Structure 1
Amino acid sequence: MKHIVVLTGAGMSAESGVKTFRDENGLWEGHDVMEVATPEGFAKNPELVLDFYNQRRRQLFEVEPNAAHIKIAKLEEQYDVSVITQNVDNLHERAGNTRVLHLHGELLKVRSTFDANDIQEWTTDLVLGDLCKNGHQLRPHIVWFGEDVPLIEKAAQICETADVLLIVGTSMQVYPAAGLMNYAPSNAPIYFIDPKPNIESNARVTVIAETATLGMQKFFKLLSEQS
């Protein structure tokens, strides 16, 4: 069974109504990302940061997987599928994908500020005074700017086993995630879905200049023509 590795980013969930921060003004829901997505921002104003992610977590219960999420989950009917996402939502899982690796953390999890491996499921608001078992403040289980991406090596290993690499809704400009496509075997075709692609098609890469939902329709058509 062919192994399809899918790399997804913010453009994947945008059509579900999940706001992205990489817009023209550099703000995320009206906040400077350096205030709400860095260790320094958390140290300076933890209440602001906790409230910001509480709002993101609440929003997650108001949105649904879109047609592109459903299409990616449908791939599992015929292929071995691994999803590596930069998104912190759970829309891939809700759509039906069974193997999802979250590079940048998950909104529905929190972790100890003392022990990064002390991770808990969390579906309600997180406030100052919510402590881990060792008595330390809990924080969002999110990889902030300036922090290591602990799952990047595992993601690279997955990419090394790809028969097909599909990239959806990410410009592949943010490192270390941007380097993952370089781990795909040289004979693995790459499909790049983005409405404003920053690369061009070549012998190996097929660029589909569409949104995630329209792009996935075209990808399925290309896949069926090749099988």
Structure 2
Amino acid sequence: MKPEMNKNKVVVFSGAGISQESGLPCFTGSGGLWDDYDINDVCTRSGFDSNPELVTKFYNTLKNKILKAKPNSAHIAIAELEKHFDVTVVTTNVDDLHERAGSSNVIHVHGNMLYGKSHFHQDNKVFVGEKLIEYGEMFDNFQLRHDIVFYGEMPENLELAKSEIKEASKLLVVGSSLSVSPSNALVKRARFKAEKAIVNVVPTKVAYGFRSYVGLATEVVPQLVTKWISEKK
């Protein structure tokens, strides 16, 4: 049985685009993190098995970029929503920019770079904070891995994310083309009567009753948040 729609519930589904506006590169596309690497070498279990030193170095480079990045106005506006709504952020991003902006309920489905984990038992994690993971740092009898969901691995927290989306009266997608499976299927769990919006810098083919906003997240999201807050008063 579906939970009843909660008129005070807002779910934000964020992708790489929102972090890109804070200066973080996407994994794919021009200038992406995988430009100089074979994806099979740095984002698969077999790649980590064969060369854990390379993979550890690759994600330490990304983590350094994350630590230098700052939340932008879109992150901050989403956090501001919590003063007026029950807000859950579901993100495919591995950075902590939502948390640093002030969002208190963030569900990471592709991992969180503030953690390390076992290569063999995905739910066996350890908090590492801002510390870089060193090559040779052992955990569960193998090289400690960054908390990244590799290609071929199942995204995390999907059932929790589904239940949050099913309950929401508003769903905001930011910076995601909704092209990565199975995470993209999460938005299909939204209620038919829920207000649904998607914000991207390029027109995005959407279904499921979404209203599309084309523009920078840093410009569009604060405007949309202001609108939702004013409508509630």
Give TM-score, length-normalised by structure 2.
Answer: 0.89
- The change in CA–CA distance for 1:130 and 1:169 in structure 2 (over 3 A counts) is same
Long gaps (5+) in structure 2: 1-6
2:83 equivalent in structure 1: 77
Alignment of 1:12-91 (within 5 A): 12-24=18-30, 28=34, 30-91=36-97
Deviations 1:26-56 (A, max 9, x none): 7526323332111122122211100011111
Alignment of 1:1-227 (within 5 A): 2-24=8-30, 28=34, 30-122=36-128, 123-132=130-139, 134-199=140-205, 204-224=209-229, 226-227=231-232
SS of the residue 2:10 aligns to: strand
Deviations 1:196-222 (A, max 9, x none): 1222689x3211101111121331244
| Counterpart residue type for residue 63 of structure 1 | A
Percentage identity across paired residues of the two chains: 35
Moved segments of 4+, more than 3 Å: 24-27, 224-227
- The change in CA–CA distance for 1:173 and 1:156 in structure 2 (over 3 A counts) is same
2:4 equivalent in structure 1: none
Q: Once the 2 structures are TM-superposed, how far is the Cα of residue 154 of structure 1 from its aligned partner?
A: 1.4
- The change in CA–CA distance for 1:200 and 1:143 in structure 2 (over 3 A counts) is closer
Asked if the contact 1:26–1:32 (Cα under 8 Å) also holds between the matched residues in 2, the reply is no
Long gaps (5+) in structure 1: none
Cα distance in structure 2, aligned partners of 1:74 and 1:27:
31
- The change in CA–CA distance for 1:26 and 1:68 in structure 2 (over 3 A counts) is closer
Asked if the contact 2:25–2:31 (Cα under 8 Å) also holds between the matched residues in 1, the reply is no
Q: Once the 2 structures are TM-superposed, how far is the Cα of residue 135 of structure 1 from its aligned partner?
A: 3.2
* Pairwise CA RMSD: 1.9
